[in-house]
Amino acid sequence: MGITSEQFDERLDKIRSRLAQQGALVCEIAEQAFQTIFSMDSESALRIMTRDDEVDQADLEIERDAVDLLQRASEDGCPLTPQQIRALLSAVKVNNELERIADAAADVANRVVSLGDRTSTFPRTTMVMTNSVVGILRDSVKCFAESDSARAKIVLNSEGTVLEFYDVIVKKSEQRIADGRLGVDHAFDLHSIIHQAVVMADHCTNIAEQVIYQVTGAIVRHTDAGWIECGKENQID
């Protein structure tokens, strides 16, 4: 007997549930990676780098399950609604975004390890910026788990705050390099870390875009005027 539409939804729910767990793990890894910056704990940073392997393994399993589900539905001629198709496609894309966020967190941890026993501290604004990124990541995971397009729009609008922090930190670093208060090597380390924070925030907005697409059918685009939705179909109010 072929797979039914109801069975498709059951398997899709399991994939989404696994993704929610993946999201929680990625949030934990990202938060811990940022904490090592300020604790200067290279041993914890090394452990975080190995936890990235957990995310990679789950990423492969989730993608395999999604492909198998789509193949099964295709072979059995299971009738799928546009929303079911969007939900599965979005799950695959969100899975990829979470894996890349974990990669960025591992890069932060790797930077902490390479810093060794440095004694110089990073600007306080760096902690505010990284805390903001963790908050955005949590919101993006939650909006996916709950199919919450309203929260997804909040995530989209939050990325600008992270970019503002980035600009402030870079400008202050340039000033401190110029007057000799900050060494070039230390500035490079700082820039590498905040760059990864921006990368994480960007992947979070990608997750938010997928949530909006899944729920409303709207494709989200970023323009000079801000975020816009186009191509809506079967919109759910």
Tens digit of pLDDT for each residue in 18-36? Answer: 999 999 999 999 999 999 9
Strand partners of residue 219: 230
Q: At what angle do helices 82-115 and 184-216 cross, to 10 degrees?
A: 170
Distance CA 52, CA 134 (A): 17
Per the CB < 8 A criterion, the answer to whether 144 and 207 are in contact is: yes
Strand partners of residue 223: 226
- pLDDT for residue 192: 92
Domain ranges of the chain: 5-230
Indicate whether 65 pLDDT > 50: yes
Query: Stretch 105-133: mean pLDDT, rounded?
Result: 85
Query: Stretch 89-110: mean pLDDT, rounded?
Result: 96
| Closest alpha carbon to 120 in 34, 30, 37 | 37
- pLDDT for residue 235: 42
Distance CA 102, CA 131 (A): 16
- pLDDT for residue 135: 97
Q: If you write DSSP's letter for every residue of 120-164 in order, what string do you get?
A: ----HHHHHHHHHHHHHHHHHHHHHHTT-HHHHHHHHHHHHHHHH
Write the pLDDT tens digit of every residue in 190-199: 899 999 999 9
Indicate whether 201 pLDDT > 90: yes
Indicate whether 117 pLDDT > 80: no
**Residue in the block written with tokens 């900050």:** 182
- pLDDT for residue 58: 94
Q: How confident is the model at residue 121 (pLDDT cuts 50, 70, 90)?
A: confident
Give 206's contacts (C-beta < 8 A, 6+ positions apart). 93, 97
Q: How confident is the model at residue 124 (pLDDT cuts 50, 70, 90)?
A: confident
Q: If you write DSSP's letter for every residue of 12-36 in order, what string do you get?
A: HHHHHHHHHHHHHHHHHHHHHHHHH
Q: At what angle do helices 124-145 and 149-178 cross, to 10 degrees?
A: 160
Per the CB < 8 A criterion, the answer to whether 116 and 42 are in contact is: yes
Write the pLDDT tens digit of every residue in 125-150: 999 999 999 999 999 999 999 999 99
**What pTM value is reported for the model?**
0.90
Indicate whether 151 pLDDT > 80: yes
Distance CA 42, CA 117 (A): 9
| Closest alpha carbon to 106 in 209, 208, 199, 205 | 199
Write the pLDDT tens digit of every residue in 161-171: 999 999 999 99
- pLDDT for residue 112: 87
Query: Stretch 71-99: mean pLDDT, rounded?
Result: 94
CATH number for domain 5-230, candidates 1.20.58.220, 3.20.20.70, 3.40.50.620, 1.25.40.10: 1.20.58.220
- pLDDT for residue 237: 35
